[in-house]
Amino acid sequence: MNVKIPRNISILLLILILVITFLAVYSISLETQKSLKEGVQEKLISVATVMASQVDGDEFAQIKTGEEDTPRFVRIRDQLRHARQMTPDIRYMYTMRKNGDVVEFVVDSDYGYDPLSAKIGDVYNDAEPELILGFLSPTANRDFTTGKWGAVLSGFSPIRDRSGNVVGIVGVDIDSAVVMAGLNRANLVVFIIGILAMIAVMVGILGLENRRAEYDRKIGESEKKFKDFVELLPQTIFETDEMGIITSTNRIALETFGITNEELQTGINCMEMLVPGDREVAGIFFAALLRGEKPGGIEYTAQRKDGSTFPVIVYADTIVHDGRPAGIRGVLLDITDRKRTEEELECRVRERTEQLAASVLKLETEITNRKQVESELSRANEELSAAYEELMATEQALRDGIREVNKSQQALEQARKKLNLLNTLTFQDISSAVFTLSGYLWLIRADLVGETQKKHLEKSELLTKKIVGSLQFAKNYQEMGIHEPRWQNVSHVFIMAISHLPPLEMSRKIRVNNLEIYADPLLENAFLTIIDNVLKHAGVVKELILRYEETEGGLTLIIEDDGVGIPEDEKEKIFERSFGKNTGLGLFLCREILSITGITIQETGEPGKGARFEITVSEGFYRFTGTR
């Protein structure tokens, strides 16, 4: 006998089946969306972590506002941009740092390519909590954030220097459209399956499973892209479980340590990759990571399968699953070349130091010899004077005396030439040695860590600069008057002098058309000294004027500004050799250069209203070559 199910019960069963199907489909859709979103977040964290390990933290920390065109900025930007191009789903990649409580951009991978890209120092307002947590450990936003760059889902990872200190973060953004496309497809599937469930619940379930399989395939493809990106990196990337067993690594790691994938599958502990003497320290490092601490980069001696060793530095972070540590993820950098370079640099510094000491000893010997020559010349002059007085009695004695004097003058001239040559060679040797010493002091600064060492190095650099200044003064003073004076265009020489200085923000008025003066070739140095004096001591200067006034006895060349001026009691002192803090060329040398052709200089400005230098040129020592 057939049992007939009432219509109401059939409807209720159909509704119940539809509700159960809908709830099942909806639950599956939510799970798929959650898995898709978690997969994207994990990918963002992984990409950010890898890129943070690639950025040189010490170099990153030195970037300052306005340094977008420096090599270190361009190098980091190109690293980020290349990584972003290798992962097409990533829309933005950038770095940030904290300035007090303010978060600001540093290097944007789109800088120079996109007008909306951030510059160094641009403030990121309303920083989300996950971004702030990114300065402590890798993290990702739970929800999309919306700004002038659109709606994005972001991942962050800290950038550390050699000491393990966090100096910034790497941020990686994926466009909401990429994620929402998957989410929208999931919602569309739920809607379609809900309609199809009215026709056939099983067909709907089958369609949903097919969609889920498609999502898994896409997630797998995305994971494959990330793995392919890791395979391209030239450093060893690895992951372990909580017991230290290596669970995954890249191709370069296998090549570096001489192991195979089959050997890796048997279970290799990461401690086996280090020499026995470093394993205890590495164990402490591993335990600290599992406790959530951030020890930073630590140097070890790695050991290959064949027993050979090489120095490395390891940066690692904790892998967290379901709120508990599940292992570590890190990068291992081979620092063999760096160690070799450090040793070579240390050896070269010792060699150069010994060479400098030898040069100083040689210089002292040459100075002693020069003093002996000067003493001998002085005695020769005394002897000549005595001989001249004795030979005054007779004509023959006078002629003999004249011949002796001529010989002595020739010897004196020859000695003067030799002394000039000795001075030139001495200046060159000292300048070369100081230049070399400055270079090595600069190289040493890059590797110094201690504050005391830095202070000693700064004092050494100040002494080196002082030696260079003294040599330059002596060289310029020695060159004065060696070459014959010549006619020089005042406007051209003045412009050439300004060109040696940083760009001037003041307005310049040059009113000396076609004026030439007869002066020593070092006239340009004289003008340079005057303008440098204005920049250093005149305070805020808005206008600088160069003009002339003709007088009865000649012409007065006037250089004046609208700065603070010079006090009355210092108007003559500024031309003294040792006046002021700076004892380089100074206005003393400026006056000496001008005096070679009888040109005088004095300061006549009114204190508080600006400086005014009057350069007086006598008649016959200036001319006009065209229209005034």
Could you report the per-residue pLDDT of 123-158, keeping only the tens digit for each? Answer: 988 788 888 888 999 999 888 777 666 778 889 999
Helices (H) and strands (E) in the chain, counts: 15, 19
Range with lowest mean pLDDT among 173-187, 399-413, 446-460:
399-413
Q: How confident is the model at residue 447 (pLDDT cuts 50, 70, 90)?
A: low
Range of the domain at 595: 486-624
- b/e for 86-118, b at 16 or more Cβ within 10 A? ebebbbbbbbbbeeeeebbbbbbbbbeeeeebb
Within this chain, do residues 123 and 264 fall inside the same structural domain, yes or no? no
Domain assignment present for residue 218? The answer is no
**What does the pLDDT read at residue 428?**
59
| 97 and 142 both lie in a single domain | yes
Longest CA span, the chain:
172
- Let me know whether 316 and 453 are in one domain: no
Residue 229 lies in a domain: no
Same domain? For 372 and 446 the reply is yes
Assess if residue 214 is contained within a domain. Answer: no
User: Coil, strand or helix: which one is 319?
Assistant: strand
Strands (E) across 261-360 are located at: 298-303, 309-321, 324-334
Sheet containing strand 236-241, edge to edge, reads 246-249, 236-241, 324-334, 309-321, 298-303
Asked whether residue 227 is assigned to any structural domain, the reply reads: no
End-to-end Cα spacing for the chain: 131
Tell me: do 366 and 260 sit in the same domain.
Answer: no
CA 424, CA 405: separation in Å to the nearest integer?
28
**Last residue in a domain, options 171, 197, 223:** 197
Co-location of 67 and 45 in the same domain: yes
pLDDT at 335: 84
Q: What pTM was computed for the model?
A: 0.32
Report the distance separating Cα 378 and Cα 247, nearest Å: 88
Together in a domain, 291 and 355:
no
- The mean predicted confidence, pLDDT, of the chain is 79
CB 316 within 8 A of CB 327: no
> Domain check: are 154 and 292 in the same one?
no
29 and 172 in a common domain = yes
Task: Please check whether residue 86 lies inside any domain of the structure.
Answer: yes
- The domain boundary, picked from 174, 197, 220, lies at 197
pLDDT one-digit tens code per residue, 9-26: 556 666 777 677 777 767
Both 85 and 55 in a single domain? yes
pLDDT tens for each residue of 554-566: 999 999 998 888 9
Residues 328, 364: one domain? no
Three-state DSSP at 508 gives strand
Length of the chain equals 628
Q: Does pLDDT of 487 surpass 90?
A: yes
Per DSSP, the three-state class of 585 is coil
What domain count does the chain have?
4
Same domain flag for 165 and 271: no
Assess contact for 51 and 79: CB atoms under 8 A: yes
Residue 449's pLDDT is what?
A: 56
- Identify the domain boundary among 311, 334, 357: 334
Residue 209 lies in a domain: no
Chain mean position to CA 584: 30
Residue 211 lies in a domain: no
Residue 490: which CATH number? 3.30.565.10
pLDDT tens-digit profile of 177-223? 776 666 666 666 666 766 676 566 555 555 555 666 676 677 667 66
Residue 346 lies in a domain: yes
